[in-house]
Each structure stands twice: as C-alpha cells, then as structure tokens.
C-alpha cells in the first residue's frame, strides 16, 4: 500500500534533489526522485505519489510547466498537490505556474524548514480534499443512482435525456425513448413477498443490460459507454434511451429484443417465474416531443396502452393516445361526481326460463349519462372505475339499488326468483366484501337466495386463496354465484367446483352466430352439457332471434 506521506521530487539538479530529499526524509516523509519531466511522469504512473515537488527550469522537451499540465491531465493527478520550485521571482512565471495547475510555489534557494511545513500543510489539505471528493461521489451516487439495481435513476435519466435531445437537435438526428413496466410484478411482490420482488427487479436490470449489450450493430450504436442509456425510474418501471436512430422502426428492434429476453422464465431459488413479461411504450424525438418531460410522458402513455392491450407487447405513441388520455382524465373527474349528481342509473334486463318461456329473473346493468359528455358505455367507464378505485363506491351503490328494487317488485307480486348483479375482482378482494353484502341484504330485506353475484373469470384468478375464502363466506350467507361471460376468458374447469359456482353465463359472442357458426354452436352445447353434469345451471346471453331461442330450448339451456 502506498505510504500516506509519499513525495515525488522531479528536478534535473542532483544536488537539489539530495538536499530536498534529506530534509523531507528527516521530517518522516518517503521520497522518490526523477531527473526530468518525462521520467517523473513515468515514475508517477508506476508508483504514484501523494504530492509532487516540481522544478520549473529543466532541460529537454518538457519543462516544469509542461510536466504540471501533463500531470493534471491524468485521472490520478487531477487533484494531486504540486509544489513548484523556481528560481524565478517574476509575477509572470508565478502566474504561469498556477495556470499550469500548481497548488503552490517556493523559490530557490530553498528554506528547508519552511519547505517541510509547506509540504505538511499541502498533504493535510490534500487529505481533506480527498475526503470531500469521496463524500461528493457518495452524494452523487445517492442522488443519481438506484441503490437496488445500481442503474441510473429518474433524475439522472431526465438530465441525460435533455442533453441528448440538445445534441440530436444540433445534428438533426432522431432518438427514441422506451418506457417499460413488468406485467406480473405486483402479483409476484404481493404473493411471494417484497424480498423476492426486489430480486426480480435486480434480475430485470441485469437482463436489460445484457439485452442492450447484444451484438446487434443497431443496439451497439445506441449504447453509451457509461451505460446511462438504461435507467430504473422506480417500482417496476424502466427506461431505455436510444440516441442516433436511423429510423423509427429501429426502436421496435430493440423493444422486441427486450420483450423476448424478459419473457424468458426467471429462476430465483425455488421459484420459476413466468410473469415478468414487459409492456413497452415507444416515443420518438422530435415528432413525439422535444423535451425530456414530453418524451417520457408520451412513452409512458404508449406503455399504458400496451398493458391495456394485454401486455407482453410494445406500442408506439400516437396523438390519438393523448386525445384518449385527456378524455379519460375528464371522465375520471366526472365519474367521481356522478353518484351525487344522480347521473348513474340501474337498468334491468329480463331473463326467461327457456322451458316455459316465462320471465323469471333480472340482471342489473349500470348506465351513465353525463350532461356534458352524453351517454358513456360501460366498456369505457367500468375499467376506469376499477383503475381509480371508484368501483368500490359505485359497486356498493349498484348492489344497494338492485336489492332495494327487487324487494319493491316482489312486494308488488312480481314473480322474481333471482336478481343478478355484476361484481369486479377489486370489489371481491376489498376487505369486508362478504360483510357488506350481508349488511345490504339485511338493510333492504331481500332474501339472500334471490341475490346472484356475477363474477368474471379474471376475478376468480386474481388471488385464488383470498377469492375462495370470500366465496365461501358468500355461500354461507346464502347468495348464488355465477361466472359471467363464460368461455371468453381463461377458465380452468378444475376450479369451477372449487369456487362453489351455481351458474355459468355463456358469453353472447358464442350465442350471436350459433345459427351460422357450427363451432359456436358446438361450444354452447358443450358448456350446457358440462354444467348439467356438474349440477350447475346455464344462462345464455344476447339471445335476439327465435332460431337462437329454439336451439337453446332444444339443448336444455336453463
């Protein structure tokens, strides 16, 4: 290890070197010597030093001033204390010494006691400077890098992106921003714990590094040497900067490579994970934005559409996305006030007993008419309600309205055996859902057997253990359970009995064309037969013709 008081003397005069070395060694310092600027630079590169005493006037191609400049250009010499020894006392020479990078100067003939004090002072100041520099480096690391993945963070990426945008503007080049989010990360973190979630993020960061180091010439050209083209923004969100794109399609090449690599199974200990596929949004400079803020915002929005489309894909940003986002923001604001303004209404669709052709049940359907926006379809506002969490409040309101209306009709002598109400996965998983249902039944006076709760297939697989516990609690209350739009999702037939389901509802997409489409007809027949064998009833949705109704009656659909 290098002695903390190691000095390098560079002077062409051997007598000066001897006297200076003797005086400083007597003060407890370790000395090495060089007779020229070139030799001094070579010796410093080999052994290093904590300070340098440098003569100004030396023969050869490199005098003291030149040697000092060369030292300052070396990484290890950037903050090194350099004391220049000179027999010149004119101000121009002194100024030239400081301009070359000297820390201090001392004139010849040398006052050796003063030299010892001057060198000691420089070493103490250098030590303090090193500590300050190390502290600055640590603060820089904390401010600009993510501690978990050791990737650059959001702040670093934004600043670097703005710098690259300025460069691209000057050179009239394109650049791309990829914004990606892991599709199944929340489920992993919630199910297997935060520690494993952190390991997934670390592995994702490493996979992204590897994908961008691939031999593809395009990708090589887009990577900066210090790796700052890749960043973790927070959570499971990462960004990639692609400077100097030859064309917009080039970004898709990188996005597809990332998609394939992240889609491969991830093995962490005893866990083999298949749910780390990405949703990737792409924004291109200059057409999609001319600032780092706009490019990030638009790439994020494109990622959102990739995720809404099912995930494990990439999408380019388009202006239509912004228009849709503005509408969604407006819808969200309006939806928050819809209940208190009386804009929501429950409509009731009749269900018929196929065998008798008589009315037997109702399904509650939520509708929204806004005075500013007009009628808004459930396909548009229900997903928005789920994303914003408003579905909890809205769902409770619908359930209370439907139960109260059913009691009113029953009291009028209407033969209503069942009223069906749709519930989302978020409602089922919300704490106290079964207790809420029981409370509303008690409040409205509706018999539990009359209420049927319809769940989508996605709701059943959201969190199996929790959902099963809630469904058991609902069955203890006495309500009926149905799977809505059966066949349109990802049903596992082995789970049907486990989930205590009373009824399957065949999705209208199969019913609509069963007269012309033999495959649809076969699916309908298979669902009816399977349900019958498992003791379940079947409701067919979207029946619009006598032919459809006759077909379903013949096949013993309930």
Long-range contacts from 213-217, C-beta under 8 angstroms, 24+ separation: 214/257, 216/253, 216/257
419 contacts 444 by C-beta, under 8 angstroms? no
Please tell me whether the peptide bond between 16 and the residue prior to it is cis, using omega within 30 degrees of 0.
Answer: no
Assigned domain for 365 exists = yes
Same-domain check for residues 333 and 223: no
Same domain flag for 311 and 341: no
- The three-state secondary structure class of 332 is helix
121 and 166 inside one domain = no
Residues 57-69 pLDDT 10s: 887 778 989 999 9
pLDDT tens for the chain, 558 residues long, are 344 578 899 999 888 888 888 888 888 888 999 999 899 999 998 888 888 999 988 877 789 899 999 998 888 888 788 888 887 666 677 778 888 888 888 887 888 878 887 887 777 776 665 665 555 556 656 667 888 888 888 888 888 888 889 888 888 888 999 999 998 787 777 667 778 888 889 989 988 888 776 534 444 444 443 334 889 988 899 999 998 787 888 888 889 989 988 888 877 777 666 667 899 999 999 989 989 899 999 999 999 889 888 888 999 998 887 777 777 778 888 888 888 899 999 999 999 998 888 899 999 999 999 988 899 999 888 888 888 889 999 999 999 999 999 999 999 999 899 999 999 888 988 889 999 999 999 999 999 999 999 987 666 665 667 788 899 999 999 999 998 877 655 455 656 667 788 898 888 888 888 888 888 888 889 889 888 888 889 999 989 999 889 999 998 899
Residue 510 located in a structural domain: no
Distance CA 205, CA 238 (A): 8
**Considering the domain boundaries, does residue 149 fall inside one?**
no
Integer CA distances (angstroms), 134 to 44, 45, 47, 321, in order: 22, 22, 22, 46
DSSP reduced 3-state for 295: helix
Same domain, 443 and 497: yes
- Structural domain contains residue 210: yes
Domain residues for 267? 154-317
Asked if residue 337 and residue 287 are part of one domain, the reply reads no
pLDDT digits (tens, 9 = 90+) for 164-190: 898 888 888 889 999 999 987 877 776
Residue 252 sits in the same domain as residue 362: no
Domain-terminating residue out of 283, 317, 351 = 317
Question: Within 10 A of 535 (CB to CB), how many other CB atoms are there?
Answer: 9
Domain containing residue 340: CATH number = 3.20.20.450
* 516 found inside a domain: no
- Is 79 part of any domain? yes
Tell me how far apart the alpha carbons of residues 294 and 443 are, in angstroms, rounded to a whole number. Answer: 51
209 with 289, same domain?
yes
Q: Give me the number of domains the chain comprises.
A: 3
Does 291 fall in a domain? Answer: yes
Name the domain boundary from 288, 317, 346: 317
**94 plus 179 within the same structural domain:** no
Q: 184: domain CATH number?
A: 3.30.70.270
Residue 198 shares a structural domain with residue 231: yes
Boundary-marking domain end, from 108, 143, 178 = 143
Q: 18 with 48, same domain?
A: yes
User: Is position 527 within any domain?
Assistant: no
CATH of the domain at 90: 3.40.50.2300
Looking at residue 450, what is its pLDDT?
A: 96
Give one word for 311, left, alpha or beta, with left for phi > 0 and alpha for psi -120 to 50.
left
**pLDDT of the residue at 226:** 39
Do 305 and 418 lie in one domain? The reply is no
| Cβ–Cβ under 8 Å, residues 315 and 281 | yes
Token pair, residue 49, equals: 């030093």
pLDDT of residue 220: 41
Please tell me whether residues 265 and 403 are part of one structural domain.
no
């Amino acid at each position: 290890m290098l002695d903390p008081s190691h000095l390098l003397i560079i002077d062409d005069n051997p007598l000066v070197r001897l006297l200076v070395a003797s005086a400083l060694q007597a003060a407890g310092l370790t000395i090495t010597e060089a007779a020229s600027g070139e030799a001094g630079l070579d010796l410093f590169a080999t052994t290093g030093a904590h300070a340098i005493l440098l003569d100004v006037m030396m023969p050869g191609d490199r005098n003291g001033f030149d040697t000092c400049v060369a030292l300052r250009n070396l990484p290890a010499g950037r903050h090194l204390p350099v004391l220049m020894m000179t027999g010149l006392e004119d101000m121009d020479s002194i100024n030239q010494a400081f301009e070359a990078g000297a820390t201090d100067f001392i004139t010849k003939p040398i006052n050796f006691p003063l030299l010892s004090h001057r060198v000691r002072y420089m070493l103490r100041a250098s030590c303090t400077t090193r500590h300050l520099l190390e502290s600055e480096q640590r603060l820089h690391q904390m401010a600009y890098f993510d501690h978990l993945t050791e990737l650059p963070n959001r702040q670093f990426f934004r600043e670097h992106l703005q710098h690259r945008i300025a460069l691209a503007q000057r050179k009239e080049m394109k650049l791309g921003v990829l914004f990606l989010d892991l599709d199944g990360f929340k489920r992993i973190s919630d199910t297997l714990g935060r520690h494993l979630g952190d390991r997934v993020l670390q592995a994702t960061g490493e996979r992204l590094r590897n994908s961008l180091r691939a031999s593809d010439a395009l990708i090589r050209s887009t990577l900066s040497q210090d790796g700052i083209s890749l960043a973790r923004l927070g959570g499971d969100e990462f960004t990639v900067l692609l400077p100097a794109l030859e064309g917009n399609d080039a970004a898709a090449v990188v996005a597809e490579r990332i998609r394939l690599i992240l889609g491969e199974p991830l093995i962490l200990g005893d866990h083999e994970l298949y749910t780390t596929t990405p949703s990737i949004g792409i924004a291109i400079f200059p057409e999609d934005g001319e600032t780092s803020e706009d490019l990030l915002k638009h790439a994020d929005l494109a990622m959102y559409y990739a995720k809404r489309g099912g995930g494990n894909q990439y999408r380019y940003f388009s202006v239509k996305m912004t228009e849709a986002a503005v509408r969604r923001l407006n819808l969200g604001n309006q939806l928050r006030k819809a209940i208190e303004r009386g804009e929501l209404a429950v409509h009731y669709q009749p269900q018929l007993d196929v065998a008798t052709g008589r009315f037997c049940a109702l399904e509650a359907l939520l509708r929204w008419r806004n005075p500013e926006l007009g009628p808004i379809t459930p396909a548009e506002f229900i997903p928005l309600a789920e994303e914003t969490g408003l579905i909890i409040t809205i769902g409770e309101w619908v359930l209370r309205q439907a139960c109260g209306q059913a009691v009113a009709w029953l009291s009028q002598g209407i033969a209503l055996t069942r009223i069906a109400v749709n519930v989302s996965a978020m409602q089922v998983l919300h704490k106290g859902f079964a207790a809420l249902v029981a409370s509303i039944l008690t409040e409205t006076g509706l018999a539990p057997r009359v209420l049927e709760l319809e769940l989508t297939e996605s709701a059943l697989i959201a969190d199996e253990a929790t959902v099963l516990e809630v469904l058991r609690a609902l069955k203890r209350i006495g309500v009926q359970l149905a799977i809505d739009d059966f066949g349109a999702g990802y049903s596992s037939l082995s789970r049907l009995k486990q989930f205590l389901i009373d009824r399957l509802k065949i999705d209208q997409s199969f019913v609509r064309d069963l007269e012309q489409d033999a495959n649809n007809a076969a699916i309908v027949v298979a669902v009816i037969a399977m349900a019958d064998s498992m003791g379940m009833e079947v409701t067919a949705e979207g029946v619009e013709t006598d032919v459809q109704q006759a077909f379903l009656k013949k096949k013993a659909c309930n």
